[in-house]
Structure 1
Amino acid sequence: MRLLHTADWHIGRRLHGFDLTEEQENAFNQIEKIALDEKVDGIIIAGDLYDCSMPSEDSVGILNSVIEKLNLKDKLPVYAISGNHDSAIRLSTGTKWFKQTHFYLHTQLEEAFKPVELPDTQIFLLPYFELFAAQQYFNDDSIKQLDQAFKLISDKMKSFFVPNKSHILVAHFFADGSATTDSEIKLTVGGLASVPVSLLKDFDYVALGHLHGKDALHAKRARYSGSPVKFSLSEANQKKGVYIIDTDPFKLTFKPITPIRDVKVLTDSFDTLTDEAIYKKQNLDNYFGITLTDTKLIPNAMARLRNIYPNIISLAWENGYADALDYDGENGKEIRQKDPMDLLKEFYEKVANDTLTPQQQKWAASALKDANKPDSGGKN
């Protein structure tokens, strides 16, 4: 059997205010093409179809359109679960008749023990669950940690194993030893945030969702597909795509997805970044996280940079202006007792790593004098 593994679609997600609809629809079109080109027998979606529990009408329309194409038009079975971003109740609407077209969507813990039976494979669909759901299902209040819950879940699943079939688990959680990015919500259930990889060994393949990087976990038969679109600057160096799983003999193949606009990190001086010979080498439609290395203040830096790089998602300064207000532990009273000009000089030195020129000191003295006039609103 050949399956396509994807996850973490997060339909409705924005990137620092930028609408990602076009990026997501482009990714979904490529997923469909990969599925057809690879002649897969079905598609696994390991949770977080939506970005929030109450998706917008547009988001619902996008998901409906994608599933309609994959499942109804292309006649591909779909094996999906709800993730921590999804509303299990809302997502479950219609699941009973979805199965008539081989669209299997599990959103409740008890459904995980009803594997999808295929000629040579069993697929166990374990949706994201809270610890209390396991306590209620097993009628056991002593379950206090996620590994306890998953051990019971895994043992019960194994009781349904059919010999000589491949056993695939689809789940949405943090596996022990995985690497995270800034765009995931940390899942902590009962004080333990991860499932030990050793508890996954009885499955022939574990198709995971939740972490957005395909290299988050390096287990031979347990992988995160990663998200099909980059959702944060910390994902800039990640390759996005899907996995193709062959069950017999077992083989795992990664298929990349090409974005319309990539996420890039630029670190350089303002003059370099605004040099036409430099910026013309970039795809200026990309999303950029920019860090300036300048030691002097750049007036209207963001506005001027956006004239060249319209899709800036963050602007930082390598020298850390946030640190400039830390006066080496001096308290507010001591600061207020200092001469304003001395404070300004210290501030400028910390921010710009330079001293005020005589002319700058004259301008500053004049401004401070004006600010302290009785009719200026300053102190007398």
Structure 2
Amino acid sequence: MRFLHTADWHIGKKLNGYDLLADQKYILEQILQVAKDKQVDALVIAGDLYDRSVPAVDAVELFNQTIVEMNLNNQLPILAISGNHDSGVRLEAGSPWFAQTKFHLHTRLAQAFVPVEMADVQFYLLPYFEPFEARLYFEEDLKTIKAAMQRVVEEMKKSFDPMKKQVLISHFFVAGSSRTDSEIQIEVGGLDGVPADLLTDFSYVALGHLHNKDALQEKNSQYSGAPLKFSVSEANQQKGVFLVDTETGTREFIPLTPLHELKVITASFQELLDPEYYQQMDREAFLHVVLTDRMIIPNMMNQLRTIYPRILSVERSAGVVEKRKIEKFKKRFNSPQQLIGDFFKEIASAQLTETQEEWIAKGLQAVTNREKSEQTCSQEN
């Protein structure tokens, strides 16, 4: 069978204060058109349907209109899960009868162990979850997402049909992936990233959470990326969806065209005000401006907005140089342990001992557990 892999719709999201509902409606209509043109058997949404756990009314209206058009009017089966931005409890309302129209929406861990079967595929819909949820479900001492995920996969494998292919739909951070600025961090320094080798039992893993389709390079696992650019850090990314064919074992990236592009431009203030300059560019695009001027410019943003109605931000070129230095520094370190080890070596002129490394790992894990405990208490209150 063939299906479209999408994720991170984030309906209701704003970009530096600009409403994106029209842009989202435009891109969702494109996704439906791709599904029709390619005659797919199903559409996958790997989490973060909404941008907030309590979405605004107009965001809910757009989501409902989209699902009606896709699922009811075009009889397109949908396989969806809740992400870390969604409220599973709120999304779950109505799901018992959604399934009657082949709109399978899973929001609880318990639902992940009963596969949705279509043609030659068993789909395992695993919504975003915290380790404590796995601890309660299995009644076992599962303290990390790695341990929880290992137990989850073991449970799923009990229902694997050797005559079918298995596809996992989930929403989490896979260790070794790269981020952009528009994603909420749901792990600390790689300590809670899910190792890719835990996913090798699946023919395909349709991932959500990271907005860059190239965030992970694995043979059987893929982030679809978000369908729109949600931050300046994504300006150079190509957005789209993946067409997955389970019979051939292939996936094809299909680009999407936004209603308004997001671009970074470098210019002086006088250039930006010059008709010969701005009449040759897409002034309706969302723009991040790198300004080459050094002097103070009174009322700068208001002057620019009269010409560029969707200007997001302005940055001095000197700031870009400093940012690049910081990014270069960040890339030197893969984890907090490595950063601490480098600092220790610089100060003490010696390497950390194995015992010291164990102490650091335990300390970082304690911080992670405490943060998650506080987050859980906050949610419960």
| Pair 1:46 & 2:46 matched | yes
What SS does the aligned partner of 1:289 have? strand
Q: State the partner residue of 2:278.
A: 279
Separation in structure 2 between the aligned mates of residue 56 and residue 308 of structure 1, nearest angstrom: 30
What SS does the aligned partner of 2:166 have? strand
Q: State the partner residue of 1:213.
A: 212
Q: Deviations 1:323-342 (Å, cap 9, x if unpaired)? A: 9xxxxxxxxxxxxxxxxxxx
Q: State the partner residue of 1:132.
A: 132
Separation in structure 2 between the aligned mates of residue 320 and residue 230 of structure 1, nearest angstrom: 22
Amino acid at match of 1:309: Y
Amino acid at match of 2:42: G
Matches within 5 A, 1:223-372: 223-320=222-319
Separation in structure 1 between the aligned mates of residue 133 and residue 256 of structure 2, nearest angstrom: 36
Q: Deviations 1:100-138 (Å, cap 9, x if unpaired)? A: 111100000010000002231100000000111011111
| Pair 1:100 & 2:104 matched | no
What SS does the aligned partner of 2:202 have? coil
Matches within 5 A, 1:41-80: 41-80=41-80
Separation in structure 2 between the aligned mates of residue 253 and residue 72 of structure 1, nearest angstrom: 26
Q: Deviations 1:232-262 (Å, cap 9, x if unpaired)? A: 1111111111100000111100111101111
Pairwise CA distance, 1:274 = 2.2
Pairwise CA distance, 1:320 = 4.4
Pairwise CA distance, 1:311 = 0.8
Q: Which runs of 5+ in 2 are unaligned?
A: 323-381
Separation in structure 1 between the aligned mates of residue 188 and residue 150 of structure 2, nearest angstrom: 14
Pairwise CA distance, 1:189 = 7.7
Higher helix share: 2
Q: Is the 8 A contact 2:8 2:49 kept in 1?
A: yes
Amino acid at match of 1:113: F
Amino acid at match of 1:73: N
Amino acid at match of 1:77: P
Q: Which has the larger radius of gyration?
A: 1
Q: Deviations 1:209-253 (Å, cap 9, x if unpaired)? A: 001111111112211111111111111111111100000111100
Distance 1:189 1:115, change over 3 A: farther
Separation in structure 2 between the aligned mates of residue 94 and residue 304 of structure 1, nearest angstrom: 49
Amino acid at match of 1:131: P
Amino acid at match of 2:137: Y
Q: Deviations 1:259-278 (Å, cap 9, x if unpaired)? A: 11111101222122222222
Q: Is the 8 A contact 1:146 1:189 kept in 2?
A: no
Q: State the partner residue of 1:6.
A: 6
Q: State the partner residue of 2:202.
A: 203
Separation in structure 2 between the aligned mates of residue 190 and residue 93 of structure 1, nearest angstrom: 35
Q: Is the 8 A contact 2:71 2:78 kept in 1?
A: yes
Amino acid at match of 2:276: A
| Pair 1:163 & 2:159 matched | no
Q: State the partner residue of 1:183.
A: 182
Higher mean Cα deviation, 85-94 or 275-284?
275-284
Q: Which runs of 5+ in 1 are unaligned?
A: 324-380
Distance 1:179 1:105, change over 3 A: same
Q: State the partner residue of 2:21.
A: 21
Separation in structure 2 between the aligned mates of residue 28 and residue 233 of structure 1, nearest angstrom: 21
Higher mean Cα deviation, 264-273 or 116-125?
264-273
Pairwise CA distance, 1:69 = 0.9
Q: Is the 8 A contact 2:262 2:287 kept in 1?
A: yes
Q: State the partner residue of 2:121.
A: 121
Separation in structure 2 between the aligned mates of residue 263 and residue 210 of structure 1, nearest angstrom: 20
Pairwise CA distance, 1:192 = 2.9
Separation in structure 1 between the aligned mates of residue 29 and residue 130 of structure 2, nearest angstrom: 33
| Pair 1:147 & 2:152 matched | no
Q: Is the 8 A contact 1:186 1:193 kept in 2?
A: no
Q: Is the 8 A contact 1:145 1:189 kept in 2?
A: no
What SS does the aligned partner of 1:319 have? helix
Distance 1:190 1:302, change over 3 A: closer
Pairwise CA distance, 1:204 = 0.4
Separation in structure 2 between the aligned mates of residue 136 and residue 196 of structure 1, nearest angstrom: 22
Tell me the number of residue pairs that the alignment of Structure 1 and Structure 2 aligns: 321
What is the TM-score with the length of structure 1 in the denominator?
A: 0.82
Amino acid at match of 1:196: P
Q: Is the 8 A contact 1:188 1:194 kept in 2?
A: yes
Amino acid at match of 2:195: P
Separation in structure 2 between the aligned mates of residue 46 and residue 100 of structure 1, nearest angstrom: 20
Q: Is the 8 A contact 1:82 1:127 kept in 2?
A: yes
Q: State the partner residue of 1:371.
A: none
Amino acid at match of 2:45: I
Separation in structure 2 between the aligned mates of residue 218 and residue 189 of structure 1, nearest angstrom: 21
What SS does the aligned partner of 1:206 have? strand
Pairwise CA distance, 1:208 = 0.4
Separation in structure 2 between the aligned mates of residue 77 and residue 23 of structure 1, nearest angstrom: 24
What SS does the aligned partner of 2:152 have? helix
Q: Aligned residues: percent identity? A: 50
Amino acid at match of 2:166: H
Separation in structure 1 between the aligned mates of residue 239 and residue 75 of structure 2, nearest angstrom: 25
Q: State the partner residue of 1:194.
A: 193
Separation in structure 1 between the aligned mates of residue 14 and residue 55 of structure 2, nearest angstrom: 13
